[in-house]
Structure 1
Amino acid sequence: MLNTILTDNQDHFPMVFRKASQCLQLVFGMAVKEVDPREHIYVLVPTLGLAYEVMQSSAQSMPKAGLRVLVLSLIIRNGDCAPEEVVWETLSRMGACPGKEHSVSGDPRELLTHVWVQEDYLVYRQVPDSDPARYEFLWGPWAYVETSKWQVTVYLLRINERFSRVFPSLSAEAEREEEDGP
């Protein structure tokens, strides 16, 4: 990185490396840990335990760990069951629209309602007594094995804190909107 990217600005390396590490954690669910300070050797370790199987399968599926944390956090924020429309609205704002191929996650509808349900990360069920039928997402048994609601909440608080420091004007605007209501 020093020799290729920062050839003329090597003094900026610590800041660039720190920011890149933060992005890896936020987007991919992977933390950068130094294993040999003398030789400056680093490894990627899963955040919240959610990326373990992803690391073993393929590098192309690694970003899905961050998406999984987002969906699990939506479930927590909505009282342990997130209405399907809330999940799709949130993912659509991020460019991952249900039924539409996404460069990172593929088809989000297929991923959430089939793949992660089969892998027991999520439960996708009809809301009882809903007519017309409405659906919701809940944490699946395997999500509880790999992490906890407490760990996801702490992780989200860290992300929010970092976001507030990096984008203070956006954070202040979001706070005002929250106070003013819709």
Structure 2
Amino acid sequence: MLQIIHPRYHHRFAEILKRASEHIEAVFAVDLKEVDSTIHSYDLVSKLNLPSYGRVWDGRGLPKTGLLMTVLGVIFVKGDCATEEDIWKFLNMMRVHAGRKHIIYGEPRKLITRELVTME
């Protein structure tokens, strides 16, 4: 994380991380938890009691909310408006590719467009 913070502000990293985690908690209802203090590894933990443990259908499949939170995070970071290209660029860095089956998400484009996006 220090790589994206200007060196002039490294001494304020703890304050920056605290404020960022407060905003993440307020917007996405997730806590930033330190997993390993020796390597400064963190995890985002949902504060929501999601039905079916985040599965798209009750009793079927693995949790899908991780993909949703990632997409929402990209949109948030891009100023509440991200292009499809922005989202896929980020997902590709996570080795999640459109048209390629993922071990957790299945086919991600299908999951995003048919199951996470509701059209009325």
TM range (shorter): 0.5 to 0.7
- 1:113 is matched with 113
Using the TM superposition, give the Cα deviation of residue 112 of structure 1 relative to its aligned residue in structure 2, in angstroms.
0.9
SS at 1:72 equivalent: helix
Report which of the two structures shows the higher radius of gyration computed on alpha carbons.
1
Distance, in Å, in 2 between the alignment partners of 1:104 and 1:117 is 18
Which portions of structure 1, spanning 4 or more consecutive aligned residues, are displaced by more than 3 angstroms? none
- Report the aligned-residue RMSD: 3.1
Identity of aligned residues (%): 30
Deviations 1:114-146 (A, max 9, x none): 1111289xxxxxxxxxxxxxxxxxxxxxxxxxx
Residue of structure 1 aligned with 2:50, choices 49, 52, 68: 52
Distance, in Å, in 1 between the alignment partners of 2:119 and 2:50 is 13
- 1:155 is matched with none
- 2:88 is matched with 88
Output aligned runs, 1:5-154, within 5 Å: 19=35, 25-26=43-44, 29=45, 47-49=46-48, 52-55=50-53, 57-58=58-59, 60-62=61-63, 64-118=64-118
SS at 1:118 equivalent: coil
Q: Which structure 1 residue ranges, 5 or more long, are not aligned?
A: 1-17, 30-46, 121-182
Distance, in Å, in 1 between the alignment partners of 2:119 and 2:106 is 17
2:84 maps to a residue whose letter is E
Normalising by structure 2, what TM-score? Answer: 0.54
Normalising by structure 1, what TM-score? Answer: 0.37
Asked whether the equivalents of residues 54 and 65 of structure 1 are also in contact (C-alpha less than 8 Å), the reply is: no
Distance, in Å, in 1 between the alignment partners of 2:118 and 2:104 is 20
Distance, in Å, in 2 between the alignment partners of 1:53 and 1:77 is 27
Distance, in Å, in 1 between the alignment partners of 2:118 and 2:94 is 24
- 1:173 is matched with none
Are residues 90 and 109 of structure 1, via their aligned partners in 2, closer, same or farther at CA, if it must alter by over 3 Å?
same
SS at 1:97 equivalent: coil
Are residues 106 and 53 of structure 1, via their aligned partners in 2, closer, same or farther at CA, if it must alter by over 3 Å?
same
Q: Which structure 2 residue ranges, 5 or more long, are not aligned?
A: 1-33
Using the TM superposition, give the Cα deviation of residue 83 of structure 1 relative to its aligned residue in structure 2, in angstroms.
0.3
Using the TM superposition, give the Cα deviation of residue 100 of structure 1 relative to its aligned residue in structure 2, in angstroms.
0.8
Say which structure is richer in helix: 1
Are residues 101 and 75 of structure 1, via their aligned partners in 2, closer, same or farther at CA, if it must alter by over 3 Å?
same
